[in-house]
Structure 1
Amino acid sequence: MTPPDHRTDPPLVAEETATVLGFLEYQRQTLEWKCAELTPRQLATRAVPTSELTLLGMVRHLAAVEAGWLVGFGGLPFDLWPDVVRDRDEQFRVDPATVTAADVKAAWATWRAVAEAVRSVVGRLPLDTADRPWGRDDEFSLRWILVHLVEEYARHNGHADLIREALDGVTGE
């Protein structure tokens, strides 16, 4: 009798997938919580005057990061993905004097659509699927990309915590 191939063993794969996605969902929910109940102007407030970093910019940036790592991955169709702000500088550039509720609504709608597209990718492909994400020279596994997304969110959620504390004193996970 040969040992099971853990790459295709459904209970283990399902458990691993649930764990990685669970951590990614937790980080997404943390970002939403950090931005909850803030006005468009507050969401567009810079972390410090010399930086373009804002909470709304982070929402736009993280949507672009998730899409950027998985557009076209595993041969999936490009129409799975919503349009995101591709220019990194433009992702973060939000003017508190002109930002509107519609700008905020659009950023969150795109962010949610990207998260749904990522869930679709994970539902269609095994974690060990390897491919070259759009615009990259190297091959990465889906597992590596998802863990990287958790790291990206965790880092920016630390920034979000500091911005939120400066805005109204709210801190915590």
Structure 2
Amino acid sequence: MTTVERPLPPLNADERTTLESWLDFHRATLAMKCEGLDDEQAAVASVPPSGLTLTGLVRHMAEVERNWFRRVFAGEQAPSIYDPEADPHGPDGGFDLTEGATLRDALGTWHTEIARAREHCASRALADTGRFMEQDVSLRWIYVHMIEEYARHNGHADLVRERIDGATGV
């Protein structure tokens, strides 16, 4: 088992480094919340009445990464990873687990989407834009949105993980 590395974002850096470091910090936090769990544990909806699971959160964040960095920022016509027709959460879903869904597969898809996001952003400026709701949206705005999206869902992941095996913090 590999241990997830999660370095503290630099305390005094330029804007881009700060934004990318905080996004990576939150990505690592979600990975840490899943560390050491098997597929059965990661599929437990452990905060009733919510059906939220760690596998579902990872699947959702893979879809969110794809949406903001590939569809919105890069303008790709990337299809939904998970069936939006079958998911009551719609095209940004992924929360609901289909039969045979595994944490390992979800993590693999998520890591692939993170790598694609990094590729799309590497040579672009924070002021560069994509299109969202028929308006320009900057990479800067997308980074801030992704940080808050991960922060919110990492709070959920913390509660779910604590209910699974008592692990807290991180």
TM bracket (short chain): 0.7 to 0.9
2: CA distance between counterparts of 1:82 and 1:42? Answer: 29
What whole-Å deviation, never above 9, does each CA across 1:76-103 have from its counterpart, x for those lacking one? 4738x686226253611126xx546xx3
Query: Which residue does 1:163 correspond to in 2?
Result: 160
SS at match of 1:125: coil
TM-score, scaled to structure 2: 0.79
| Equivalent pair of 2:70/2:120 in contact (CA under 8 Å) | no
| Match status 1:91 vs 2:94 | yes
Correspondence 1:119-130 to 2 at 5 A: 119-130=118-129
CA 170–82 in structure 1, closer or farther in 2 if over 3 Å, else same? farther
| Equivalent pair of 1:64/1:86 in contact (CA under 8 Å) | no
Q: Letter of the aligned partner of 1:53 in structure 2?
A: L
Query: Which residue does 2:76 correspond to in 1?
Result: 78
Correspondence 1:1-173 to 2 at 5 A: 15-73=14-72, 76=74, 78=76, 84-85=81-82, 87=84, 89=89, 91-94=94-97, 99=100, 103-133=102-132, 136-173=133-170
Q: Letter of the aligned partner of 1:26 in structure 2?
A: F
Q: CA deviation at 1:140?
A: 0.9
1: CA distance between counterparts of 2:114 and 2:80? Answer: 13
What RMSD, in angstroms, separates the aligned Cα atoms of the two structures?
A: 2.3
Q: Letter of the aligned partner of 2:76 in structure 1?
A: F
TM-score, scaled to structure 1: 0.78
CA 118–49 in structure 1, closer or farther in 2 if over 3 Å, else same? same
Q: Letter of the aligned partner of 1:109 in structure 2?
A: G
Q: CA deviation at 1:63?
A: 0.9
SS at match of 1:140: strand
Q: Which has the larger radius of gyration?
A: 1
